[in-house]
């Protein structure tokens, strides 16, 4: 596995949003992440890949502050907000919370009653995600794929500058995945920085995107195009 020779492909005219230095995260002696360093610039689109149990989800949870590093430094520019979709979604039964309420919790500013402008934003996103009929439904009555769309909306509703997605299409049906990937492309064109954990690079557009291959350590960090040239003739499953 080739490792990028530089800490990043950082250029002087880009603002660094994520700066990780010698990060290690251990759980009772197990090294989930072991001395990794990298940077992500504003406007980057980075696919985070690696085998199961390689530390990908641990990395994103550490970037959000949900996990504390065992050692090393993590600096994330939170100005402009962060949208985060974890791998494990809310799935408890018999808790009376609606789709509207779940999404509303993603707003920075919340009120006793939902403002009309916020409700319109929620309804617009539900339409974009093709589940507008679920607005008043209890979240636990939705299918796994519908729940994933709701939590995607929650991650994006506040127009964050940085979005961290942990396998966001895992429960989506194939027909909707193309629609969702096109949505991400449009968000990226607007300048949103995206870190996206995935297992199938071949189904995505490659232009101007990067790969961060993590397996406890960083084994590659560079362009998708170069990665695909090196590995498996352009069809990469990890």
The label of the residue with tokens 């500058």 reads 161
Cβ distance 221 to 3 under 8 Å? yes
pLDDT tens-digit profile of 96-105? 899 999 999 9
Q: Which residues contact 46 (CB under 8 A, 6 or more apart)?
A: 40, 194, 195, 196, 209, 210, 211, 212
Cβ distance 146 to 131 under 8 Å? yes
Looking at the fold, whether 75 and 192 belong to one and the same domain comes out as yes
Looking at the fold, whether 29 and 146 belong to one and the same domain comes out as no
The parent domain of residue 110 ranges over: 89-159
Looking at the fold, whether 135 and 167 belong to one and the same domain comes out as no
pLDDT tens-digit profile of 196-223? 998 877 666 677 899 999 999 999 999 9
Last residue of a domain, one of 136, 159, 182: 159
Which residues does residue 46 pair with via DSSP β-bridges, in sequence order?
A: 195, 210
Looking at the fold, whether 172 and 75 belong to one and the same domain comes out as yes
Looking at the fold, whether 77 and 166 belong to one and the same domain comes out as yes
DSSP 200: B
Cβ distance 150 to 99 under 8 Å? yes
Tell me the mean pLDDT in the region 58-76: 96
Q: What pLDDT is attached to residue 48?
A: 96
- Count of domains forming the chain: 2
The CATH number of the domain holding residue 186 is 3.40.50.300
Looking at the fold, whether 5 and 70 belong to one and the same domain comes out as yes
Query: Per-residue b/e over 132-171, b at no fewer than 16 CB within 10 Å?
Result: eebeeebbeebeebbbbbbbbbbbbbbebbbbbbbbbbee
Looking at the fold, whether 5 and 52 belong to one and the same domain comes out as yes
Looking at the fold, whether 114 and 175 belong to one and the same domain comes out as no
Last residue of a domain, one of 141, 159, 177: 159
Q: Which residues contact 4 (CB under 8 A, 6 or more apart)?
A: 218, 220, 221, 222
Cα–Cα distances (Å) from 193 to 9, 54, 144, 158, 217, in that order, read 15, 23, 26, 14, 23
Using the Cα atoms of residue 97, residue 103, residue 106 and residue 111 in order, give the sign of their dihedral: negative
Looking at the fold, whether 126 and 58 belong to one and the same domain comes out as no
Would residue 70 be called left, alpha or beta, if left means φ above 0 and alpha means ψ between -120 and 50 degrees? alpha
The Cα 124–Cα 110 span in angstroms is 18
Which residues does residue 172 pair with via DSSP β-bridges, in sequence order?
A: none
Q: What pLDDT is attached to residue 1?
A: 45
Report residue 233's pLDDT band, with 50, 70 and 90 as the boundaries.
low
Which residues does residue 165 pair with via DSSP β-bridges, in sequence order?
A: 85, 196
Looking at the fold, whether 4 and 71 belong to one and the same domain comes out as yes
Looking at the fold, whether 187 and 233 belong to one and the same domain comes out as yes
Looking at the fold, whether 73 and 180 belong to one and the same domain comes out as yes
Worst-scoring range by mean pLDDT, 46-55, 100-109, 132-141, 167-176?
167-176
pLDDT at 8 over 60: no
pLDDT at 6 over 60: no
């Amino acid at each position: 596995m080739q490792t990028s020779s530089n800490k990043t492909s950082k250029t002087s005219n880009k603002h660094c949003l994520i700066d990780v230095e010698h990060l290690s995260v251990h759980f009772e002696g197990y090294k989930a992440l072991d001395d990794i360093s990298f940077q992500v610039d504003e406007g980057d689109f980075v696919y985070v890949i690696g085998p199961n149990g390689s530390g990908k989800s641990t990395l994103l949870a550490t970037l959000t502050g949900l996990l504390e590093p065992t050692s090393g430094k993590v600096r994330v520019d939170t100005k402009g907000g962060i949208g985060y979709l974890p791998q494990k979604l809310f799935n408890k039964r018999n808790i009376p919370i609606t789709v509207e309420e779940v999404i509303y919790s993603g707003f920075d500013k919340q009120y006793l009653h939902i403002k009309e402008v916020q409700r319109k934003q929620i309804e617009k996103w539900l339409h974009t995600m093709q589940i507008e009929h679920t607005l008043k439904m209890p979240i636990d009555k939705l299918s796994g794929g519908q729940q994933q769309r709701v939590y995607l909306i929650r991650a994006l509703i506040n127009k964050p500058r940085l979005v961290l997605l942990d396998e966001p299409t895992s429960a989506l049906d194939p027909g909707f995945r193309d629609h969702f990937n096109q949505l991400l492309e449009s968000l990226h064109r607007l300048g949103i920085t995206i870190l996206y954990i995935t297992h199938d690079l071949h189904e995505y557009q490659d232009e101007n995107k990067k790969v961060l291959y993590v397996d406890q350590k960083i084994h590659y960090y560079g362009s998708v195009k170069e990665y695909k040239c090196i590995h498996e003739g352009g069809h990469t499953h990890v």
